[in-house]
Amino acid sequence: MVETFSLDLAGRTLSLEVGHLAQQSSGAVVVRYGDTVVLVTVCTTQPREGIDFFPLTVDYEERHYAVGRIPGSFFRREGRPPEAAILASRLTDRCLRPLFPKGFRNEVQVIATVLSADQENPPEALAIIGASAALSISEIPFEGPIGAVRLGYVNGELSLNPTYAELDAGKLDLVVASTADAVVMVESGAKEVPEDVVLAAMRQGHEVNQELIEVQREMVRKVGKAKMSYVPISSATPELEHKLYELVGAPVEEVFATGAARGERNEVLDALERQAHEALGDTNEKVAIKEAFEKLVKSAMRTRVLRYGKRADGRSAEEIRPISVQVGVLPRTHGSGLFQRGQTQVLTIATLGSMSMVQNLDTLDPESSKRYMHHYNFPPYSVGEVRRIGNPGRREIGHGALAERALEPVIPSEEEFPYAIRVVSEVLESNGSTSMGSVCGSSLSLMDAGVPIKAPVAGVAMGLIMDEETREYAVLTDIQGVEDFQGDMDFKVAGTAEGITALQLDTKIKGIDFSVIDKTLSQAKKGRLFILDKMKQVIRTSRGSLSPYAPRMLKLKIPVDKIGALIGPGGRTIRAMTAEYKVTIDVESDGTVILGSSNEEAAQNAYRAIMGMVKDPEPGEIYTGKVTRLMNFGAFVEILPGKEGLVHISELADHRVERVEDEVQVGDEVTVMITEVDRMGRINLSRRAVFADGSAGERSESPGTPRPPMDGPRRDGERRPDDRGPRPGGFQRGGPGQGRPGGDRGPRPGGPPGRDRGPRY
């Protein structure tokens, strides 16, 4: 039987439908909001033997039929998920993972399929709601439900579940997921929004989430299944833990008390773990000893922070590791920055390209392309490991997207800076917070490249150590790897001196309250400003000029009706210009043309050629062009790409020409003057007029460069193109001033004196 549960959310109805679709799954819910529809299913299996982690998989599936499109791939079907879908999968995973019971090892798969997208209401938060509802009504143990909403900040006011258009117009895009008691996940991009506004958005989202949680509780009461029984998997017994502490407890605590560096600390801990295996291995399994040892290490690190206020490397809670900043470290790149914080080192490189290099997006979002891209690489040597290198995983894509979101608000507009921009962060060393190191490195590389960003952006990762019983806690600034792994929170905050541009909150406990969030944002701001100051000591603003190896862009505007002439039949004209001038040419529908070349002279030559091409040729203008074909009555010359004119045999020289081939050949460059453009647009040219003008042999312009019409007093014997008057229908018979002195041109081979040969064009 179909059951529908609904509520009003921001003036629109959100409904959760159960009992209609995918009934063989453990739980299936259809979420509708506007005309956006998401199906979420959950399934589980028995645990695999020997597994020591919780195998949760979340897949967010985009279907192009949801927006009435056929995929653009060769096979015309969806293939590898786009980055947007991977990020949505991560978003849902981060909300759910902390809310499964400890020791639960059954494999769980969550699949969210977007069936319909109205391109007004984003589906990501709906997938989180659907996943929570499906898990809650299934037999799978889940310590939810949770709610998730999106908040915007438009015209100085918070907006609940804004549309795509409202998000574009606003300054904030924040998704908050929470249980009835606390916040479990936050993801946000912002345009330098103050901390108090972000905190207010979280509070409002948490309040609205309570309505969503109540609806799901009603679903559980009506259609929920009984929860399955399971045996928590834990190999370490209390007896083993006691023996292990007596054996190596003191030296483990001592290594954290000394504030040793990561390498030295790990060497000591590895030796102590080997000692434990040798002493206790006869009566205990390796897995059990390993689990007990990890629990001992976690306890020692956390106790040191809460009891003594000292961290694993000896720092206080708010202390940031030593920072090193360099720019211009690579000679031939367009911009580079090296950012190091403790044992985290990130080299970031900026590359500029023409607008033809923007990334085309094949997703369900209204956005079809992006010109600023950030890519993040995490090679195995950054942590001293050996493993296969392949395509970027979800982690790399997620970290790259976070850094991209952090910098996006300060990237100049296309009108200000008509370039496609790619930034790549290479993690060379990793000991915590590489994504925030990428944010800092991105600012450095962009400023080094001369990209006029509005302000530098820095980022810092915040951590949390909280006692489960007493609720005593410590917020840590600039966490390192062990604090991320053994801690309770990873809260990344990036921004300028004016405000936040991106943040990402993940928890390993069942949420954090707003007192912790408020303290974290305040502490993170201090850390961000400290890091920005270190960066500004090396480079304060963007360089005033681009790298000599970066392309130069010139922008011009042509009439819309001339776009076809510039492109040419099948793109022939624009391809020829691209090859001839070694430039990139991007043409927009409004007539905007952007030229790009690392050689400024080449770009200027192409600029002059295009301006000459789109300008209507007028009598009296002089061009240098190439002979394209010969006829027995004259030669055709391409004066501009795609524009040809005829030089009649009588106008090829200031002397009698018996045969066209005697004077010019195909491919020759000749300087000609326009003598007439008839009412059908046909162009008549004269080489004789240029000789009479005295310009032959004196021009240095490149082919296709227009020369302004002549004016001023006439020289002795000078002829002007209008001396002969208009000639309807093309060239006519010779008249005064043509051919031999006295107008006698003599006989022409193959015809009577003075008559044209061959067809007119």
The first and second tokens of residue 62, run together, are 């985009």
Query: What does the pLDDT read at residue 695?
Result: 53
The first and second tokens of residue 399, run together, are 């970290």
The kind and range of the H/E element at 4 are strand 3-9
Q: How many residues does the chain have?
A: 761
Query: What does the pLDDT read at residue 641?
Result: 66
Query: What is the full DSSP assignment across 711-755?
Result: -SPPPTT---GGGS---TTS--S--TTSSSGGG----BTTB-TT-
* Domains along the chain with CATH numbers: 3-223 (3.30.230.70), 238-308 (1.10.10.400), 323-536 (3.30.230.70), 552-614 (3.30.1370.10), 622-743 (2.40.50.140)
Query: What is the full DSSP assignment across 10-25?
Result: TTEEEEEEESSS-TTS
Phi, psi of 657 (to 5 degrees): -115, 115
Q: Are 589 and 562 in contact (CB under 8 A)?
A: no
CA separation for the pair 398, 656 (Å, rounded): 76
CA separation for the pair 265, 704 (Å, rounded): 71
Helix (H, G, I), strand (E, B) or coil at 586: strand
In our burial notation (b when 16+ CB lie closer than 10 A, e otherwise), range 597-609 reads bbeeebbbbbbbb
Query: What does the pLDDT read at residue 756?
Result: 39
CA separation for the pair 691, 673 (Å, rounded): 10
Q: Are 497 and 455 in contact (CB under 8 A)?
A: yes
DSSP collapsed to 3 states, 76-120: CCCCCCCHHHHHHHHHHHHHHHHHCCCCCCCCEEEEEEEEECCCC
CA separation for the pair 611, 254 (Å, rounded): 76
DSSP 555: E
- In sequence order, what are the residues at sequence separation of 6 or more whose Cβ sits closer than 8 angstroms to the Cβ of residue 505? 183, 185, 186, 187, 489, 490, 491, 492, 512, 517
Pairing verdict, β 592-597 and 584-587: antiparallel
The kind and range of the H/E element at 152 are strand 147-154
Q: Edge to edge, what strands does the sheet with 157-160 contain? A: 157-160, 147-154, 172-178, 183-193, 500-507, 489-495, 458-466, 473-477
Helix (H, G, I), strand (E, B) or coil at 490: strand
Pairing verdict, β 172-178 and 592-597: unpaired
CA separation for the pair 14, 93 (Å, rounded): 22
- What are the strands, taking DSSP E only, across 536-650? 552-557, 584-587, 592-597, 622-631, 634-640, 643-648
pTM beyond 0.95, yes or no: no
Helix (H, G, I), strand (E, B) or coil at 338: strand
CA separation for the pair 143, 351 (Å, rounded): 46
Helix (H, G, I), strand (E, B) or coil at 288: helix
pLDDT block averages, 10 residues each, the chain of length 761:
93 96 96 97 90 91 94 85 94 96 92 96 97 98 96 95 94 97 96 96 97 97 94 81 92 89 90 92 84 92 92 94 97 97 97 89 85 96 91 93 97 92 97 95 98 97 92 95 93 97 95 95 97 97 92 88 88 90 89 87 86 82 91 91 86 92 93 91 92 55 40 38 38 36 39 38 33
